[in-house]
Chain A
Amino acid sequence: MTRDAIVAFERRYGSPANSLLSRLATVQTEHGGLTVSAADAVADEIGLPRAHVRGTVSFFGDLGFGARGRRHVRICEGTACLAATGPGHFAAIRRSLLANDETTVQGVYCLGYCYGGPAALDGESPRAGPNLSSQLLGEDPGADPDIPVRAAVDRPVVLAGIAGGGSAWPVWRAVLADGGGERVLKEVDAARLRGRGGAEFPVAAKWRAAAATRAERRYVIANGDEGDPGSFADRLLMERDPDRILAGLALASLACEATAGFVYVRSEYPRARDAIKDAVYRARAAGHLGRNIGGSDVDFDVEVIEGAGSYVAGEETSLIRSIEGLRGGVRPRPPFPTTEGLFGLPTAVNNVETLVAVPWILAQGGASYAELGVPDQTGTKLVCLNERFARPGAVEVEFGTPVREICEVLGGGVRDGQNLRALQIGGPLGGFLGQEDLDVPLSEPALRRIGIPLGHASLIAFDERIAGAAILRHLWRFAASESCGSCDPCRIGTKRGLELVERDEERPLRSEERQRLEALLDVMATASMCAFGRGVPGSVRSLLRVYAEELVAT
């Protein structure tokens, strides 16, 4: 039983609170913004305490109290858009759009158009391209470029469906009929599959832990809150092969003995949300989801939850809080969600890319999967290349492929004859490599050895046009605006970091500033509660190393 009174309250008296975020978003759209009284009314309707609903509204970037224009444009401030156009484009577009007083503008961190940015969401319509400003002003037709996709492996795993490998649902039905959860666990174990969200936790172990917790019910969640600016792998999978995610989630539910699943899709991905919802309806109609599936005694159904604008919501405790309709603040672990998760019940949260591999593993056998990649990291990874590459897009590679090969061969090197100044791997909590560092193999252990977390394996190339100081400011702005506030080293530290680098004059950090920054990075890296606050310092430090001559006074 949870110690958490608000969750207990909600479980007993709220109805159904997991609809809170979408309910608030609907009210916001219909009423031209959210007021305190509107939020109170939603709280009363759903049966949640008003204070907590206000807390939720004020937490999420998309919500908040205030007016919303008839036209609401979310402009991407993500890292790839910075790499594409430099730091000024957001302000310029914002200025031109706000000339119309029926328009409101919101900056968001990444819309997943890193291969073709800069990007924006006009209402729910994605717009991207070098002429974004003209598109938004109606001078050019709107463009929503597809993700270029390639499989640089002989037998695509993650891209199995997209590359023409057919539906994953037959695998689900076959496992349901023969082997069940034990078979799932055995094969996933044999595959040595690890979580692709960045934490690299062994998947079968997580599922066993959830199954081992005594409870009246259990949940599985597909984490589609792909927050890392630079990554669009999950968007690709959710839009183009949602059935495979659902089949993977269904297989996970069998292993966890869960009866209900959720797919949490970030609000920046409206197409992905629609595709997943559509896939759920189709799966129900086809009898893949529901009660007594395929004549078995297995019940499993899935609900799609849309986020409301928070990077940290991708962290599992935060994601669970936001499904509960509460502030998406990170919570200390333990208890881990596998013992006390959604509504206090055992819950396994897995990234969509992780789940996508599961049907393949069940179809081909865990041993086949384990043959892919390198001994210390099996399998494949969908790598995302930004628009600075000559051949941007999503590429499936085996773990162990040298980063240089990915950049120079698969990505074709930096376009327009520019030089690669820096390569960011793994998003804002990952790190930066210089031209000379690229021979490292793409694998979590190898990168970890040089102090860079793999994260979601996005690759963002920076050419020489973008100043290191702009990237440094971008990192701290992102950190300060996305810190959830649950722990003080991150809540205050990200603000202090931003203050250190946000100034008008362009100059390297003075030695006293550098000392203060180091002290700050130390405490954030060691004392923060979650991977966010702990991860920002490594990213900053690697940037300072790669741009040392620009950023650090000697």
Chain B
Amino acid sequence: MRVSVDGRQVEVGAGASILHAIRAAGAMVPSLCFDERVSAAGSCRTCLVGVDGHAEPICACTSTVAEGMSISTSDAGALAFARASLELIVSELPERALSADPKRSELVRACQQLGVDVGRFRGARHTRGRDDSHPYVKFDADLCIACGRCVRMCDEVQGTFALSLVGRGFETVVSPDGSDWANSGCVACGGCVDSCPTGALSEPGLLDPRPIDSVVVTTCGYCGVGCSLDVHTRAGEEIAAITPTRTAAVNRGHACVKGRFAHAFVRSRDRLTDPLIRRNGRLEQGSWEEALEHISRELKRIKETHGPDSIAAISSSRASNEENYMLQKLMRAVIGTNNVDNCSRLCHAPTAAGLTASFGLAGGTGPFEEMDHSECFLVVGANPTEAHPVVGARIKQRVLAGASLVVIDPRRTEIARYADVHLAGRPGSNVAVFHGLAHVLLDEELVDRVFLDDRTEGFDELEALLRDYSPEAVEEISGVPAEDVRRAARIYARGPCSAIVYGLGVTEHAHGTDGVRSLANLALLTGNVGRASGGGVYPLRGQNNVQGAADLGTLPDLLPGYQRLTDDEAVARFEAEWGVALSRRPGMRIPQMFDAALAGRLKALYVYGEDIAQTDPDSKRVVAAMEACELVISQEIFLSRTAELADVVLPGCSFLEKDGTFVNFDRRFQRVRTALPPPGRARSDFEVIAAVAKALGGDLGCTSPADALEEVGRLCPHYAGISHGRLDREGPLHWPCRSAHDPGEAILYRDRFATPNGRARIAAPPYRPPGEEPDASYPFVLVTGRRLEHYNAGTMTRRTDNLRLRAHGFVEMNPADAIRLELVEGDMVEVASRRGAVTAPLTLTETVGVGQLFMDFHFPEVLTNALTSDVVDTAGCPEYKVTAVRVHQLLSKS
């Protein structure tokens, strides 16, 4: 539709608001109750404008445009009423409302624009007081103008419904659903704070009046969603606040308690600021020269004595693509071994293996934005509202807007409470359940025969296998009622566009790869992949750059870009670029590294940004493996358990201090930009790896992260079109991106699958029981996972006020089990497995099933991974999700 704003013609969509047209024309009117992320309320009445043909002013945010409409933002009559509305608003507020920094107060900016100071309408103000109970969300109730933006952010973006306006008339004010903010349902996504126009809702860094003078746009370093964040700093030295980037394609101005608020760790006093070297059994501060000299001496000695394959590196899925590239290049080109792996081994290795086998490429099949068109979600083994909150919230909103939802998870997670059908199978029964769903799809002829014929192979084997997986048979194996399996299959098939979203509850099993493949089957059977329609298969990546770490080749059998060591042409390309001959012998996976160390075959281990002593399964064995090595290097930002055991500790950088790129869960390269300098003598990890190479007499070549990505582009056809320059100019790009003009392939497989013959491969793996099952001695099944407030080993989040939101780890048990065992909430219990025992307080919740326990692994004092087993999948991923344990009371709460 064509409308004119102050004489300027603009084109806007039918149904657009007048305010939208005004903004599109580059004009500005105050709009205190409006936020483009949520619906319009029309409460502040400061966006009044003149419209030709209307005698009265029109409220721009709630009125829609009409063809040919002529809008005036300078209409004197409308402005007078807008100003009077603002004068009324000002009249209820204390003076401090208007003395705020205009950059931090929309209200002050509106007053400046309309020339309002104290106004004509003096009268009673509010005396409601403050609520500072929450560490991040600070509420000054006397500044609330009841615009409801916070409530709508909570409802329409976050989907937590924790806020409401209360009272009526002049007394209307927002309130959380608890005795105070800290004891409410608020999950601290920060949406309310971010939207508040007056500063009634604020946060510590914004309440501090010192100037905020720099904003850096970067990518979040927590989880794999890949939210864009604006980092606001004071003189580039101190973070004042981090807010979600409003225009970001991924998060659209939304974030979670981690990305939004958990940044205090960067200036934590116990950051590593100097290299540490073990002398006489103790780690002591040393210089970079000493540390590098020590490393080079020892590595050279070990390589000469035991050969290059006695050295291995574990790279970091939190580190940038460029740093991962550098580390694998160090190992391959300087040390001469393929012994490099990253923690995707422990989470999504089955995804890489399974999706590559089924579809051809190791990543999600479409962009996050496609979920806007998904009419059905099948969420499997994922707790997205806690572990990937921005995705979880988006799915919730889609479901509220009418999409159907099937959840497969042993736990009754928050997202499961929203489900049409929740299949809570026994841990380890995934493959059977997926086959059960496939069985129903076939049995009820809900499959897409044309798609199967044209684009897949292997259907006949699956069809034969599925005879054994009737819903009733699946009920036997999994405990999921047969009728629920049928209902779930029908919902998924009905779609019409059904997305599969899955997490580590699919992969972290003894047969995780089988799980991924049999899950992928469902998308293939129904044609819900390989077309633009809101279908697709989305693995939710655990760490911020777990996709990128694998993409960039910190894998023992694959070069950057998933190029095989057996691919002569690819190897030749690398050898030409790097100027060295490469070892063609595949290296060790992480679990094999520990085996080799214990067997005396591995002598040196370089651990970069990974706390293996806390996060890898069977911690006791991991520690023994580290102790068996002659040299352990830990490149870290804190003295983690792993660093404590190392011989040399190199101080590196957090994501807020580095330059480079991450790849998020949907294969999107996004820029990471330096917001702060590293503390003390810590160096960027990129420089550290280059310095180690140099100390060894090598030269990794790349002078900067941008340079490194250029080199990657020359070596990896899938990333050829991606560079820092282009990302800075154009924004994020999806791989495959084959040239500087290729927009990137956000939706994969539209014409053909990336397999040699272009057909997707349907797999027919039989169900096999988990590696460990409960028995009389160990009657419970322990499931591990994350909580909203913390992130993996907790190294970062435990050094922030997130600790005030969740202070310690505990064991979750179903109340029915507690009654049987005569345990009560708060009891200290010992949880023991065949490998170890830990002590933690007990909490009772129906989110875990009878016979199951749930624990996180964020807290070193509750070393959950002392319990977990080192049974691994064919792709090398441990069975974190199934551990047989027993529980007994140590100390009664009473």
When the two chains form the complex, which single residue of B82, B169, B177, B397 contacts A491, counting CB atoms closer than 8 Å? B169
A3 touches B56 (CB 8 A): no
B169 touches A495 (CB 8 A): yes
Q: What residue in chain B is nearest A526 (Cβ atoms)?
A: B81
Interfacial chain B residues near A285, Cβ < 8 Å: none
Judge if B579 is at the interface, Cβ distance under 8 Å: no
Interfacial chain A residues near B167, Cβ < 8 Å: 58-59, 485
Judge if A166 is at the interface, Cβ distance under 8 Å: no
B842 to chain A, nearest CB (A): 24
A6 touches B161 (CB 8 A): yes
Judge if A409 is at the interface, Cβ distance under 8 Å: no
A496 to chain B, nearest CB (A): 5
Interfacial chain B residues near A482, Cβ < 8 Å: 169
Stretch from A274-282, A287-295, A515-523 contacting the other chain: A515-523
- Over the window 432-444 of chain A, the binary record of Cβ atoms lying under 8 Å from chain B Cβ atoms (1 yes, 0 no) is 0000000000000
Within the assembled complex, what's the spacing in Å between the Cα atoms of A494 and B155? 29
Judge if B145 is at the interface, Cβ distance under 8 Å: yes
A484 touches B169 (CB 8 A): yes
Judge if B402 is at the interface, Cβ distance under 8 Å: yes
Within the assembled complex, what's the spacing in Å between the Cα atoms of A526 and B166? 26
When the two chains form the complex, which single residue of B48, B124, B184, B397 contacts A527, counting CB atoms closer than 8 Å? B48
A523 touches B161 (CB 8 A): no
A484 touches B168 (CB 8 A): yes
Judge if B113 is at the interface, Cβ distance under 8 Å: no
When the two chains form the complex, which single residue of A51, A334, A481, A483 contacts B177, counting CB atoms closer than 8 Å? A51
A54 touches B44 (CB 8 A): no
Within the assembled complex, what's the spacing in Å between the Cα atoms of A34 and B121? 36
- Contact status of A485 and B146, CB under 8 A, knowing A55-B166, A59-B167, A526-B56: yes
Stretch from A7-15, A101-109, A367-375, A420-428 contacting the other chain: A7-15
A431 to chain B, nearest CB (A): 19
Within the assembled complex, what's the spacing in Å between the Cα atoms of A331 and B120? 28
- Over the window 140-167 of chain B, the binary record of Cβ atoms lying under 8 Å from chain A Cβ atoms (1 yes, 0 no) is 0000011000001011100101111111
Interfacial chain B residues near A496, Cβ < 8 Å: 88, 91, 121, 123
Judge if A99 is at the interface, Cβ distance under 8 Å: no
Interfacial chain B residues near A528, Cβ < 8 Å: 45
Q: What residue in chain A is nearest B399 (Cβ atoms)?
A: A12
A58 touches B400 (CB 8 A): no
Judge if B43 is at the interface, Cβ distance under 8 Å: yes
- Contact status of A487 and B43, CB under 8 A, knowing A496-B91, A516-B120, A527-B84: yes
Within the assembled complex, what's the spacing in Å between the Cα atoms of A388 and B158? 56
Interfacial chain A residues near B41, Cβ < 8 Å: 331-332, 486
B64 touches A327 (CB 8 A): no
- Over the window 464-492 of chain A, the binary record of Cβ atoms lying under 8 Å from chain B Cβ atoms (1 yes, 0 no) is 00000000000000001111111111011
Q: What residue in chain B is nearest A48 (Cβ atoms)?
A: B161
Interfacial chain A residues near B164, Cβ < 8 Å: 49, 51-52, 54-55, 327
B169 touches A529 (CB 8 A): no
Interfacial chain A residues near B89, Cβ < 8 Å: 488, 492
A112 to chain B, nearest CB (A): 22
A444 to chain B, nearest CB (A): 19
Q: What residue in chain A is nearest B157 (Cβ atoms)?
A: A5
B72 to chain A, nearest CB (A): 16
A52 touches B45 (CB 8 A): no
A529 touches B161 (CB 8 A): no
Judge if B401 is at the interface, Cβ distance under 8 Å: yes
Judge if A72 is at the interface, Cβ distance under 8 Å: no
Judge if B220 is at the interface, Cβ distance under 8 Å: no
A1 touches B401 (CB 8 A): yes
Judge if A493 is at the interface, Cβ distance under 8 Å: yes
A492 touches B92 (CB 8 A): yes
Judge if A50 is at the interface, Cβ distance under 8 Å: yes
B interface residues, tally (CB under 8 Å): 55
A-contacting residues, B161-190, CB 8 Å: 161-172, 175-177, 184-185
When the two chains form the complex, which single residue of B42, B45, B59, B165 contacts A55, counting CB atoms closer than 8 Å? B165
A50 touches B185 (CB 8 A): yes
Interfacial chain B residues near A523, Cβ < 8 Å: 81, 84-85, 88
Within the assembled complex, what's the spacing in Å between the Cα atoms of A484 and B146? 11
Judge if B527 is at the interface, Cβ distance under 8 Å: no
Judge if A4 is at the interface, Cβ distance under 8 Å: yes
B-contacting residues, A1-59, CB 8 Å: 1, 3-6, 8-9, 12-13, 40, 49-52, 54-55, 58-59
Interfacial chain B residues near A332, Cβ < 8 Å: 40-42, 59, 62
When the two chains form the complex, which single residue of A3, A334, A480, A489 contacts B45, counting CB atoms closer than 8 Å? A489
A216 to chain B, nearest CB (A): 11
When the two chains form the complex, which single residue of A3, A12, A59 contacts B156, counting CB atoms closer than 8 Å? A3
Judge if B553 is at the interface, Cβ distance under 8 Å: no
A79 to chain B, nearest CB (A): 19
A54 touches B169 (CB 8 A): no
- Contact status of A485 and B172, CB under 8 A, knowing A55-B166, A519-B120, A526-B56: yes
Within the assembled complex, what's the spacing in Å between the Cα atoms of A332 and B154? 20
A488 touches B45 (CB 8 A): yes
Q: What residue in chain B is nearest A534 (Cβ atoms)?
A: B56
When the two chains form the complex, which single residue of A327, A331, A485, A519 contacts B84, counting CB atoms closer than 8 Å? A519
When the two chains form the complex, which single residue of A51, A487, A495 contacts B170, counting CB atoms closer than 8 Å? A495
Within the assembled complex, what's the spacing in Å between the Cα atoms of A492 and B121? 9
A489 touches B88 (CB 8 A): yes
B156 touches A492 (CB 8 A): no
Judge if B794 is at the interface, Cβ distance under 8 Å: no
Within the assembled complex, what's the spacing in Å between the Cα atoms of A329 and B167? 11
When the two chains form the complex, which single residue of B64, B85, B154 contacts A489, counting CB atoms closer than 8 Å? B85
Within the assembled complex, what's the spacing in Å between the Cα atoms of A493 and B165? 19
When the two chains form the complex, which single residue of A9, A59, A480, A492 contacts B400, counting CB atoms closer than 8 Å? A9
- Contact status of A491 and B84, CB under 8 A, knowing A527-B45, A529-B45: no
Judge if A124 is at the interface, Cβ distance under 8 Å: no
Within the assembled complex, what's the spacing in Å between the Cα atoms of A224 and B239? 57
Judge if B428 is at the interface, Cβ distance under 8 Å: no
- Contact status of A1 and B402, CB under 8 A, knowing A52-B161, A485-B165, A520-B121: yes
Judge if B418 is at the interface, Cβ distance under 8 Å: yes
B195 to chain A, nearest CB (A): 14
Within the assembled complex, what's the spacing in Å between the Cα atoms of A481 and B171? 10
B448 to chain A, nearest CB (A): 27
B42 touches A529 (CB 8 A): yes
B39 touches A3 (CB 8 A): yes
When the two chains form the complex, which single residue of A5, A13, A59 contacts B168, counting CB atoms closer than 8 Å? A59
Within the assembled complex, what's the spacing in Å between the Cα atoms of A516 and B185? 43
Judge if A499 is at the interface, Cβ distance under 8 Å: yes
Interfacial chain A residues near B176, Cβ < 8 Å: 51
Within the assembled complex, what's the spacing in Å between the Cα atoms of A327 and B163? 13
When the two chains form the complex, which single residue of B44, B123, B397 contacts A495, counting CB atoms closer than 8 Å? B123
B97 to chain A, nearest CB (A): 14
Within the assembled complex, what's the spacing in Å between the Cα atoms of A40 and B121? 38
A485 touches B81 (CB 8 A): no
Interfacial chain B residues near A486, Cβ < 8 Å: 41, 43
Within the assembled complex, what's the spacing in Å between the Cα atoms of A494 and B171? 12
Interfacial chain A residues near B172, Cβ < 8 Å: 485, 491
A4 touches B42 (CB 8 A): no
* Interface positions of A (Cβ within 8 A of B): 1, 3-6, 8-9, 12-13, 40, 49-52, 54-55, 58-59, 310, 327, 329, 331-332, 334, 480-489, 491-496, 499, 516, 519-520, 522-523, 526-529
* Interface positions of B (Cβ within 8 A of A): 39-45, 48, 56-57, 59, 62, 64, 81-82, 84-85, 88-89, 91-92, 120-121, 123-124, 145-146, 152, 154-156, 159, 161-172, 175-177, 184-185, 397, 399-402, 418
The 9 closest A-B pairs by CB, nearest first: A55-B164, A485-B172, A49-B161, A523-B84, A51-B177, A332-B62, A332-B42, A495-B170, A483-B169
Other A-B pairs, 11, CB within 8 Å; known A49-B162, A55-B166, A527-B85: A5-B156, A58-B166, A327-B168, A483-B169, A485-B165, A487-B43, A491-B170, A492-B89, A516-B121, A520-B88, A527-B84
Chain A to chain B contacts (Cβ below 8 Å), 9 pairs:
A8-B400, A49-B177, A331-B41, A334-B64, A480-B169, A488-B44, A494-B170, A516-B120, A523-B81
